[in-house]
A = this chain, B = another copy of it.
């Protein structure tokens, strides 16, 4: 999707046509078993796809679909559109649901397991000015029990996969914002030379590249580990990926915006779309702080051995 299309998309509600395209490409059924008509891919492949989706700012409840398509194959075909709510670690504050419009079913993860609730059964209020123009948000006030879909072990697996696919999208943001910042630094001239020839800009870009590379390595390593092709503690690697990619997404988007200067403040320019998306992804499947705490807990446990 070229960047102009992203800007246009920003004012649209759920885009059914785009969703059908994604289903046809197999994006929604990456994780569905081949027997059930999916691609049956591992996490190592899934993170490549989701990094690309993040890099292009694709909208829609992508992660929830990929997670649930293993349990409900219909989701992978695009016929059933699901969104979700992570209640595994309840907190005060409103229940905010992304991409409500267009979704038929709400998936809830909590300590008991996985539930599904038909959206017809719920009352939702649209948030008028969502932070990310490409991530419409609704608020719901009550959560009926719904139908039990899977047990808590499955729930934990889905949560881990959700965290890693989110990290992959964050990686995509780190990649895209480095790309945009690089081009702009070469193009934009001030004081009779490209701004990319100033050390202040050079060094910001170098730090962005380091963060991008670190995020990429962490996400790939966590995926290989989840697929059983690594040697580390998968939970620690997933938290590492979510934390490092989250930080890379935020800081690279922030750096991109600063390098764009005044132009970074202009609506039609890419940086702010990425920065806003980075905030949305940070608040899905565990924040940096939560994952840092998880890592410390696991490290501390290994220290007592």
Contacts and interface: CB of A to CB of B under 8 A. Distances in A.
Interface of A: 198-200, 203
5 contacts: A198-B199, A199-B199, A199-B200, A200-B200, A200-B203
A234 B23 CA distance: 64
A203 B199 CA distance: 10
A166 to B, nearest CB: 31
A42 to B, nearest CB: 43
Contacts of A198: 199
A201 to B, nearest CB: 9
Contacts of A199: 198-200
Q: Which 4 A-B pairs have the closest CB atoms?
A: A199-B199, A199-B200, A198-B199, A200-B203
A198 B200 CA distance: 9
Nearest to A199: B199
A114 to B, nearest CB: 39
Nearest to A201: B199
Contacts of A203: 200
A208 to B, nearest CB: 16
A199 B191 CA distance: 14
A103 to B, nearest CB: 39
A203 B202 CA distance: 13
A200 B198 CA distance: 9
A97 B203 CA distance: 43
A53 to B, nearest CB: 36
A14 B198 CA distance: 50
A45 to B, nearest CB: 40
A300 B220 CA distance: 42
Contacts of A200: 199-200, 203
Nearest to A198: B199
A203 B200 CA distance: 8
A86 B203 CA distance: 43
A124 to B, nearest CB: 33
A198 B202 CA distance: 12
A266 B198 CA distance: 31
A236 to B, nearest CB: 26
A198 B198 CA distance: 9
A107 B173 CA distance: 58
A159 to B, nearest CB: 32
A209 to B, nearest CB: 16
A13 to B, nearest CB: 41
A198 B203 CA distance: 12
